Chains A and B, each alone.
Chain A
């Protein structure tokens, strides 16, 4: 049976490198997903994943409470992402991010569907400001509770609820017309060609 989080975190704080690797394996997907969705760039997300765990390793003495490891890790990742977004704002992106390779074993139609859905989600997230995007990503991808999101973003639960509410209204504005497209206007009856009537005499 694998050790639970608090035991691993205690061991990690005491310098056990195996515990660190176990924690990395446990949380790398979540951190990578968060970075990928915040930056909408998988290559940059890979770099930030590395940066986040390297910083966690270097500053493990700052982790005081073993129960808040996940929030602490996401706080590091969040700071990295916000820095990257700020930096990106000053730079011109030079290449679009690479598309996700198709999942092995899935049907071509399934891959196409997933690719379209992923594209739609990415475009929707791209339209949100970073402060709205981060609460959506933490909630929808990482399944964090309101309390955990508040801890990561250093705000209150009511602020988290308010930001989620506004972000979801924007998501609704984008998705609702696609889900329920208005029926096309009824086709009009073709009018008979108007011909000049010539009086018959």
Chain B
């Protein structure tokens, strides 16, 4: 028997599709005619069927330990899920809403707009003047002197103060 492969690759492709149940029924007569004449394709057909038979006879039972291991792991996942903090719930309502619904681009646009409006509407500062000390002359007849404005200098003649006493 030959170990070579058919030189007609299209015919061998049809053979594969036939083995897989994907060949159109209309193309079957052409394939069967080719098989009747081609020993290489017949040998390949036998090999594919033998492989399939051997593969499908092999027992592949899932070990019982696999079920127990999976369910134990799912229990762990559930417990971990309960313990894990719900960060969304912990966020403030506004922050949460912003995180969920407003994109970064939109937030930047709003911030930029606020800066522009603030710049336009802000009162213009008056021309800067050099700070001048105000001098207030007064007589302190009695009691305490309270100085509230740090820019005010108070001069009280000591003689009058003394005379007043």
Contact = CB atoms under 8 A, between A and B. Distances in A.
A54 B59 contact: no
B22 A179 contact: no
A100 B12 CA distance: 34
B20 to A, nearest CB: 6
Interface string A175-198: 111011010000000000000000
Interface stretch (B68-76, B89-97, B125-133, B152-160): B68-76
B62 A54 contact: no
A49 B73 CA distance: 12
Contact of A140 (B51, B74, B77): B51
Taking residues whose C-beta sits less than 8 angstroms from the other chain, chain A's interface range is: 35 or more
Contacts of B137: none
Contact of A117 (B58, B66, B74): B58
A14 B161 CA distance: 91
Interface stretch (A28-36, A69-77, A88-96): A28-36
Given A49-B70, A50-B70, A168-B44, A140 B52 contact: yes
A124 B54 CA distance: 11
A164 B57 contact: no
Dominant secondary structure at the A interface: helix
Nearest to A144: B20
Interface string A16-60: 000000001000110011001100001000100110011001100
A175 B46 CA distance: 9
A85 B159 CA distance: 104
Interface hub of A29, A141, A176 (most chain B Cβ within 10 A): A176
B63 interface: yes
Interface string A103-125: 10000000000100110110010
A131 B17 CA distance: 19
A121 B73 contact: no
B66 A49 contact: yes
B50 interface: yes
B58 A50 contact: no
A176 B45 CA distance: 10
B58 A172 contact: no
20 contacts: A28-B62, A28-B67, A29-B62, A32-B60, A33-B60, A36-B60, A49-B62, A49-B70, A54-B73, A100-B58, A114-B58, A117-B54, A117-B57, A124-B51, A161-B13, A169-B44, A176-B3, A176-B46, A176-B47, A177-B3
User: Which 8 A-B pairs give the minimum distances between C-beta atoms?
Assistant: A180-B1, A117-B54, A175-B47, A33-B60, A118-B58, A172-B47, A32-B62, A50-B70
